[in-house]
Amino acid sequence: MAVSGGIAAYKSAELVRLLRKKGADVRVVMTRSALQFISPLTFQALSGNPVHTELLDAEAENAMGHINLARWADKIVIAPATADTIAKLSHGLADDLLSTLCLAATCPVYVAPAMNQAMWHKPVTQDNVKRLIAYGITMIGPGQGEQACGETGYGRMSEPAEICERLWAEPAAPYLHGRKVLISAGPTREPLDPVRYITNRSSGKMGYALARAALKAGARVTLVSGPVALAPPANADVIRVETAAQMHEAVISRAEAHDIYIGAAAVADYTPVAVQPEKIKKQDEQTTITLQKTRDILAEVAQLARRPFTVGFAAETHDLETYALGKLTTKKLDMIAANWVGRDHVGFDSEQNALQVFWADGRQTLSMTGKLHLAEQLISLIAKRYDEKNTA
């Protein structure tokens, strides 16, 4: 949310509260003029995040600068938007944090104007508004009524509840529209004999949540799934496999026909050298099973001639960052999402998770939340990185 210097800035505090109540993660940017109307402390307390005010601030740039803020946001709303800010945006100026952020943003931008009715009706303001609409920015309001200056007419900022509803009602842009996304999910089963197998604790929940999130983002989704107890998402093309070898075949044969591959399956690293044709009998006190390495699906996808944007997962019990960064470089991945496993209530088979996401020149923490919400954030991040790679 961006706040510019109008008297209606006090209403924005209520907007932050309402957005947070809906479950949104809110970061507030204020112009220098806005600081004269309301304290950043108010927004900091209500949003639970530091408030951003300066474009040229080395410390803020390290923490979350204007480009990162622009990438982070799913939506930007400017409330109140002054005549001055509208004029700046309509001409592509970028001389403060708010205007630079809007210029750098690829997400939908909403503008809630608030100004004196004469300022609103001025042809120059109306021209600026038309220009913003032509550039794809959505106007919310203004409303009509009594104004702070004592006049009556158009120019009142829309009520926070109305702005909140509009933001909520409009789906985020289907940012993967037309893209083909291949996702592998769940565990594999490596048979020992006709009745036994080696497997792992993966439930497939994260992979299935990613499939739903990618579908919601407009993608066409192929889901290669190991054995799980989950209902497949409607509209996904689901391919069921059991062993690591079957998963390898299913993924490799399809990967080049997809734009993005997300390897969220927990594929067995080793498989028994031989599957006994008959049930192994209980005989000796100890027995040995010889295992051989399975093929590395992620690394092979990343080496294909027409490789998709390749995203790996790292589930680690220790040294998360070291292992994740190691996998990113040795397997030549575009991105890796790492999470802790073997701890209570996170990772495998839990409803919640948190991720550390790494790519060649950046990283982002997605904090603990439900797997579907987390999947939506990861899909949004993947889509942004994918776009950047393909427009670079």
Ligand X SMILES: Cc1cc2nc3c(=O)[nH]c(=O)nc-3n(C[C@H](O)[C@H](O)[C@H](O)COP(=O)(O)O)c2cc1C
Is the Cβ of residue 51 or residue 251 nearer to ligand X in the bound state? 51
Does 158 interact with ligand X (rule: CB under 6 A)?
A: no
Among 12, 47, 53, 85, binds ligand X (CB under 6 A): 85
Among 83, 109, 176, 183, binds ligand X (CB under 6 A): 83
Is the Cβ of residue 4 or residue 364 nearer to ligand X in the bound state? 4
CA distances from 3 to 58, 111, 196 (A): 22, 10, 62
Is the Cβ of residue 122 or residue 196 nearer to ligand X in the bound state? 122
Does 31 interact with ligand X (rule: CB under 6 A)?
A: yes
The residues that are catalytic are 149
Does 54 interact with ligand X (rule: CB under 6 A)?
A: no
* Closest separation in Å from C-beta 58 to ligand X: 22
- Residue 350: CB partners within 8 Å, gap ≥ 6? 205
Does 111 interact with ligand X (rule: CB under 6 A)?
A: no
Is the Cβ of residue 132 or residue 182 nearer to ligand X in the bound state? 132
Q: Which stretch binds ligand X (CB under 6 A): 3-11, 182-190, 254-262, 300-308?
A: 3-11
Q: Which stretch binds ligand X (CB under 6 A): 112-120, 200-208, 249-257, 308-316?
A: 112-120
Among 25, 74, 84, 387, binds ligand X (CB under 6 A): 84
Does 51 interact with ligand X (rule: CB under 6 A)?
A: no
Phi, then psi, of 311 in degrees rounded to 5? -120, 125
Fill in the amino acid letter for 58: A
Tell the residue number behind the tokens 């503008």, with chain if given.
Answer: 111
Does 6 interact with ligand X (rule: CB under 6 A)?
A: yes
Among 5, 187, 204, 207, binds ligand X (CB under 6 A): 5
Is the Cβ of residue 5 or residue 187 nearer to ligand X in the bound state? 5
Is the Cβ of residue 66 or residue 371 nearer to ligand X in the bound state? 66
Among 51, 73, 114, 244, binds ligand X (CB under 6 A): 114
Phi, then psi, of 237 in degrees rounded to 5? -90, 110
* Closest separation in Å from C-beta 121 to ligand X: 13
Q: Which stretch binds ligand X (CB under 6 A): 26-34, 197-205, 239-247, 288-296?
A: 26-34
* Closest separation in Å from C-beta 11 to ligand X: 11
3-state SS of the chain?
CEECCCCCHHHHHHHHHHHHHCCCCCCCEECCCHHHCCCHHHHHHHHCCCCECCCCCHHHHHHHCHHHHHHHCCCEEEEEECHHHHHHHHCCCCCCHHHHHHHHCCCCEEEEECCCHHHHHCHHHHHHHHHHHHCCCEECCCEEEECCCCCEEEEECCCHHHHHHHHHHCCCCCCCCCCEEEEEECECCEEEECCEEECCCCCCHHHHHHHHHHHHCCCEEEEEECCCCCCCCCCCEEEECCCHHHHHHHHHHHHCCCCEEEECCECCCEEECCCCCCCCCCCCCCCCCCEEECCCHHHHHHCCCCCCEEEEEEEECCCHHHHHHHHHHHCCCCEEEEEECCCCCCCCCCCEEEEEEEECCEEEEEEEEEHHHHHHHHHHHHHHHHHHHHHC
Among 115, 255, 315, 379, binds ligand X (CB under 6 A): 115
Is the Cβ of residue 93 or residue 172 nearer to ligand X in the bound state? 93
Q: Which stretch binds ligand X (CB under 6 A): 2-10, 126-134, 238-246, 248-256?
A: 2-10
* Closest separation in Å from C-beta 125 to ligand X: 9
Residues numbered 308 to 367 that lie near ligand X (CB under 6 A) are none
Among 82, 202, 339, 353, binds ligand X (CB under 6 A): 82
**Nearest 5°: CA angle at 250, between 346 and 225?**
30
Does 4 interact with ligand X (rule: CB under 6 A)?
A: yes
Name the site residues for ligand X (rule: CB under 6 A). Answer: 4-8, 31, 33-34, 82-85, 114-115, 119
